[in-house]
Amino acid sequence: MRSSEDGRPDMGTPFRRTVLAEQIAEHILNLIQTRTLRPGQQLPSERELAIELGVSRPSLREALRALSLMGVLVKRHGDGVFVSTLGSEQLLSPLQFFIGLDPGHLEELFEARIVLETGIARVAAQRIDSETLDRLGTCVAEGEKSIDESEEFLRLDMEFHGILVEATENPFLERVFQTFQVLGKVSREITVQIPGVRLQSHSDHHRIFKVLKDHDPEGASRAMQDHLNNVQRAYFTHAKQQSVKGQGQTQSP
């Protein structure tokens, strides 16, 4: 474990300035997993940490907020931000841990995404320009080519939703969306593996794109809700099947 001259942990090399909040969160999680940051240890101040990582304070703030929501970090008013004293097993997979504490957490996450992203689609339909539409169209086309490649499709799926929030030209929506990106990555990594979901999601993305081209706010909102409902339904159907399968294996002699 590397440390600076004053004994503080080495937080690593600076990020590119275009880094998203979820990447910052993943980096901090990695520091915890590798024991560079230990349970109960205090992080550098927000200003110092942003400088060390080479990121903007708003992006860093969203990453810290997401990790606090997951119980990985603890904010103590007047004292700073500390690594949680959760057990090592819990810290090794905090995203899965957060959702796995209660099956309702993932359902609540989907509910929150529907509220947020249908609103984003509605606003984007009113403000999206031709250049952003071109970027979105390219993303949809690349997604069709990547239906058989889960990792690439996942990347393009996140890019698609990211372009939409950019089209709102609303920094507050972008900040909130970044937090949801951090929390939602685990559910996406699961759903992208479910048979049929990538094909359905591509079809949904294409529909959303067409409605956005028409600058139809209500149509965009409905298309986004249908898309997220489809993903949610596929996830819970898959989870139920896996649960039944697991029970059957347990009961086998």
pTM of the entire structure?
0.65
Q: How confident is the model at residue 1 (pLDDT cuts 50, 70, 90)?
A: very low
Rg of the chain in Å (alpha carbons): 20
Residues 134 and 206: their CA atoms lie apart, in Å, by: 13
Q: Say which residue, 250 or 190, is predicted with more confidence.
A: 190
Q: What is the pLDDT of residues 51-96, one digit of tens each?
A: 999 888 988 988 898 888 777 888 888 889 999 886 544 444 555 5
Q: Which of 96-105, 158-167, 242-251 has the highest mean pLDDT?
A: 158-167
Q: Say which residue, 191 or 90, is predicted with more confidence.
A: 191
pLDDT at 131: 97
Ramachandran assignment for 6, one of left (phi > 0), alpha (psi -120 to 50 degrees), beta (any other): alpha
Domains detected in the chain? 21-92 (1.10.10.10), 102-248 (1.20.120.530)
